[in-house]
Structure 1
Amino acid sequence: MWIISDDALAAWMHRSLAGVEALLRTTVHHPGDPFLSTVATHLLAAGGKRIRPALVLLAARFGDPDRPTVLRAAAAVELMHVASLYHDDVMDEAATRRGVPSVNARWSNRVAILAGDYLVAKAAELAAPLGAEAVEEQARMLTRLVTGQLRETVGAGRHADPERYYMGVIADKTAALFTLAARLGAHASGASAEATDALGAYGEALGIAFQLADDVLDLTEPSLRAGKPANADLRQGVATLPLLRAVRGRGRGSARLRKLLASGPIRDADKLATAARLLRRSPGLAETRAEVERYASRAGQALLRLPASPARETLTTMCDHIVSRAGPQPTGLTNPDS
């Protein structure tokens, strides 16, 4: 996800991430309840890129990064993220996550929801010693996360602009956690208010770019998308930005897409393949890639308010990685609207 060219920073990050892993294990382990420990650690044990804890740690480099509260902040953010995955998998009826059976598939929806709630509670315990301001940051993020999930579930409705609505949903569902990671890392390290605000702006834009790149990957490289099945968004009837941009066209391809999507989520394998092919050939994909670049550039601009350092350079490489993750426009494809 990132390239660290500075050896000292790379070594510190390696040690700090190891410390976060140890703290995650001890925090969620419940010595009096083996079953609770098993379900709470299920996805943590399955791995993950740990992007959000890394962002906490890098943000902390703009203050005193060796404060003990920094590791607590990083672990708290990761627990919030994993809790959201437990709940998302229930909402999406997902069978797998990170290459292993989801908690809801292995046990039940009730177990998954309660285990997610347990992780939220443990995250709150970790963040409590950081002070009232940090707890308020965490509470605001949780409010945004739940709001985004609810708005996605309810849908835009007839009178809302679908694209604006979707961008608001991903800002709350995805970018809020990136923003929390950046701001909490800065707060835990005692960074200045100016640095905290700059890092928060960076996290917000980076989170949106990350989700839009994820939308592209769902259509082009689903194997790179957190272990989810191909065309998961189409299967679930989620109108992501590539789809919204594709169906607003006036050509035959857009008309065929609108017809295929008229009845909601696509379950039929042949129809799903057709819709995915039309989307991959549509201008919507290239336009979404352009939006990834735009938000990644916005994140990079926010970093210019911070002093030059190996940490800032590494944060910049995160922007570059997300852009490259979305990839170039596929070759050999034609515009179905032409």
Structure 2
Amino acid sequence: MTHVVDEEFEASVTGRLAVIEDELVKAAVADSPFVTEAARHIIDAGGKRFRPLLVVLGSAFGQGTSETDLTRAALVVELTHVASLYHDDVMDDADLRRGAPSANRRWDNSIAILVGDYLFSRASTLVADLGTDYVRLQAETFGRLVQGQIAETRGPQEGDDPLEHYLQVISDKTGSLIATSAVFGGMVAGASREILEALDAFGEEIGVVFQLSDDIIDITSNETGKTPGTDLREGVPTLPTLMLQASQDPADQALKELISSDLSDDARLADALEQLRAHPVIEQARAEVQRHADLALAHLESLPDGEAKQALSRICLDLVGRSN
């Protein structure tokens, strides 16, 4: 049975996100025009605003909220996310971010790092107005973001399982802030401890689904705006390639060697993509995404029924659908 979206609820969410978007631009204003321009660089390029959406939806599970605090909480998580993107682009030596030249390309690495730091400072100023519980959770989340980035940079060490290492990196780099977003929404609305724990667990799993579905899209899709095989060409570990590398089947050896080789040549990349798309590992990866989605949906079961719960469920199903 198709769920009918409540138009009033949808309008309320859309209206709140519009306010958050306006305030996000204002929050990036600095004392100098140059810093303001650089700090707005990624914000102006747009984005899904996935984390503010989770703040808004999480706030539906409490007793009511101050719109000011709701907006402030959403700004904190999105500014933290955007700040981390500046740093990620330096670490990855990226050329593009959201279709525009990355800050490290437009200016240089030092400027990109410092602008990221500035946006973190703006998030810290805003979170201080929400109270010490928010400051603590924000600090813990920031710690996980940094540890995830360090673990990704070092790679799996001797004795580590590469896939387990990768999933932990995703949990720290992506799942932690997505979980905090949902929890912040519940906190500003005075939600119970049980609800906050459910939102936290849901957010962690949704973060994993979010990234793992992207991993599959990198190989299978031609319709997302992202050039297929970008991660594959750059040697970035993803769920399908890690699953393939773990295979003990001798028949997989040639493909394993191909994806580990230099794929700068378009023909070699196309060959690797074609073989991967036809390989059972893609369905195995989709099954792993579905497993995490099922865990996420299970965490929603204890939440009160209503439009917000339905919306969180749809988000989960939509993320799974992207990679199918």
CA offsets 1:204-223 (integer angstroms, 9 cap, x no match) = 11111111101001111265
Where 2:160 maps in the other structure, the secondary structure is: coil
Residue 317 of structure 1 aligns with which residue?
Answer: 314
Aligned to 1:238: 236
| 2:255 is the alignment partner of 1:257 | yes
**Distance change >3 Å, CA 129–CA 222, structure 1 → 2:** farther
- Report matched runs for 1:113-132 at 5 Å: 113-132=113-132
| 1:35-54 correspondence to structure 2 within 5 Å | 35-54=34-53
Distance 2:144 2:83 in 1: 14
Task: Verify: 1:187 aligned to 2:187, yes or no.
Answer: yes
> Contact 1:97–1:228 at 8 Å: present in 2 too?
no
Q: What letter is aligned with 1:135?
A: V
Residue identity matched to 1:102: S
- In the TM superposition, what whole-angstrom CA distance separates every residue of 1:116-150 from its partner, at most 9, and x where no partner exists? 11111111111111111111111111111111111
Residue correspondence of structure 1 range 26-175 to structure 2 within 5 A: 26-30=26-30, 32-63=31-62, 64-175=64-175
Q: Percent identity?
A: 43
In the aligned structure 2, how far is the partner of 1:60 from the partner of 1:223?
33
Partner secondary structure for residue 61 of structure 1: helix
TM-superposed CA distance for 1:253, in Å, is: 5.4
TM-score (ref. length: structure 1):
0.90
Q: Shift of residue 281 of structure 1?
A: 2.0
Q: What number of residue pairs does the alignment pair up?
A: 321
Q: Which amino acid aligns with 2:293?
A: A
Select between 310-319 and 265-274 the one with higher mean Cα deviation: 265-274
* Counterpart-to-counterpart distance in 2, 1:69 and 1:161: 42
- Given the two structures, how large is their TM-score scaled by the length of structure 2? 0.94
Q: Deviations over 1:169-189 (max 9, x none)?
A: 111111111111011111122
SS in 2 for 1:58: helix
Counterpart Cα distance in 2 of 1:153 and 1:282:
29
8 A contact 2:235–2:260 mirrored in 1: no
Aligned with 1:130: secondary structure?
Answer: coil
Q: Is the 8 A contact 1:246 1:282 kept in 2?
A: no
Decide whether aligned partners of structure 1 residues 231 and 262 sit closer, same or farther in structure 2, where only a CA change above 3 A counts: closer
Q: Report the Cα distance in structure 2 between the residues aligned to 1:286 and 1:50, rounded to whole angstroms.
A: 29
Tell me, in whole angstroms, the C-alpha distance in 2 between the residues paired with 1:115 and 1:229. Answer: 28
Partner of 2:286: 289
Deviations 1:179-201 (A, max 9, x none): 11011111122111111111111
- Distance in 2, matches of 1:176 and 1:223, equals 28
SS in 1 for 2:303: coil
Q: Bigger CA drift: 119-128 or 52-61?
A: 119-128
Q: In structure 2, what is the equivalent of residue 212 of structure 1?
A: 212
Q: Distance in 1 between matches of 2:203 and 2:100?
A: 29
Contact 1:151 1:169 in 2 (8 A): yes
CA distance, structure 2, for counterparts of residue 90 and residue 4 of structure 1: 44
Whole-Å separation in 1 of the counterparts to 2:240 and 2:118: 35
Aligned to 1:115, the other structure's residue is in SS state helix
- RMSD in angstroms over aligned alpha carbons? 1.8
Write the letter of the residue equivalent to 2:32: D
What does the per-residue CA deviation read over 1:53-97, in whole Å, with 9 as the maximum and x for residues that have no partner? Answer: 000000011121444211101111111111111111111111111
Aligned equivalents of 1:4, 1:166: Cα separation in 2:
38
Task: Give, in angstroms, the shift of residue 250 of structure 1.
Answer: 4.2
Instruction: Tell me whether 278-287 or 167-176 shows the greater mean CA deviation.
Output: 278-287
- How far apart in 1 are the matches of 2:320 and 2:130? 34
5+ unaligned residues in a row in structure 2: which ranges?
none
Q: Does the 8 A contact of 2:66 with 2:188 survive in 1? A: no
Q: Is the 8 A contact 1:76 1:127 kept in 2?
A: yes
The 2-side partners of 1:312 and 1:236 are apart by 38
The residue identity in structure 1 corresponding to 2:242 is L
Asked if the contact 1:134–1:184 (Cα under 8 Å) also holds between the matched residues in 2, the reply is yes
> Where does residue 21 of structure 1 map in the other structure?
21
Partner of 1:334: none
For structure 1, the 5+ residue unaligned runs are 328-338
Instruction: Check the 8 A contact 1:58/1:311 in 2, yes or no.
Output: yes
* Distance of 1:228 and 1:141 partners within structure 2: 28
Kept in 2, the 8 Å contact 1:20–1:74? The answer is yes
Q: Classify 1:159/1:268 alpha carbon distance in 2 versus 1 (closer, same or farther; 3 Å).
A: farther
Cα 1:316–1:196, aligned 2, differ >3 Å: closer, same or farther? same
Instruction: Name the SS for the 2:129 alignment partner.
Output: helix
Whole-Å separation in 2 of the counterparts to 1:290 and 1:65: 38
